Amino acid sequence: AMLELGQTRMQEARKAAEVLGVPSEHLRFLGYPDQGLLRLFLDYYYFPYTAPRTGVNRVPYPGTLSPGALYTGENLERDVERLFEEIRPTLVLAPSPLDAHPDHRATGDLALRLLGKRRELDRARFWIVHGGLEWPLPKGLHKSLPLEPPPRGHGLPWQRVPLQLEQVERKLEAARAHHSQILILGRFMEAFVRSNELLSPLPLP
């Protein structure tokens, strides 16, 4: 059932991207284990990690970048590096290593390392989702309220990006496309649909 959830979440991400006007051929899925990314970098860089909830130790999904690749930090890093080479992004949106979610922290650290290697750190903008202390408040949908910086992002040089009403509506529709997550975290996710985005050019204060 957990493997099916992975398939479902990829399908939901495709739907959300469609709402946002991102062509499906621009999407890339890697298929590494949910809540296992930090372990890959800390404990399983060279040896395969077995995800406790699926019993799987390699990328199980067809249509991913490296189907069948062993769950190692080395393979995940190689996949992301390959994407940077192929896409050559001018802007990289990544989670800040200050985010409380271990997968987000690991992703932020990896983006920093690879962009540093490419001497392209100025291309990164960082965001936080799990920002601490009940943030963001109030929960639920409040489209006209601004999103204020999270407690965990204290000291970061936040840039406010104002959104047009039409962009706010589209963001809400894209968030609701993640149906399996909305069922569990609906009021939390909808609390991010506000009058602005928050991005920081620095990952850490």
Q: What is the pLDDT of residues 144-197, one digit of tens each?
A: 999 999 999 999 999 999 999 999 999 999 999 999 999 999 999 999 999 999
CB-based contacts of 158, cutoff 8 Å, min separation 6: 149, 198, 199, 200
Question: What's this model's pTM, rounded to 2 decimal places?
Answer: 0.94
Across-strand partners of 199?
Answer: 159
- Domain of 18 in residue numbering reads as 2-199
The answer to whether residue 52 is domain-embedded is: yes
Q: Give the pLDDT confidence of 12-51 residue by residue, as tens digits.
A: 999 999 999 999 999 999 999 999 999 999 999 999 999 9
Listed in sequence order, the DSSP H helices in the chain are: 2-19, 37-42, 73-87, 102-117, 165-177, 179-190
Residue 184's domain is classified under what CATH number? 3.40.50
Domain count, the chain: 1
Asked if omega into 138 is within 30° of 0 (cis), the reply is yes
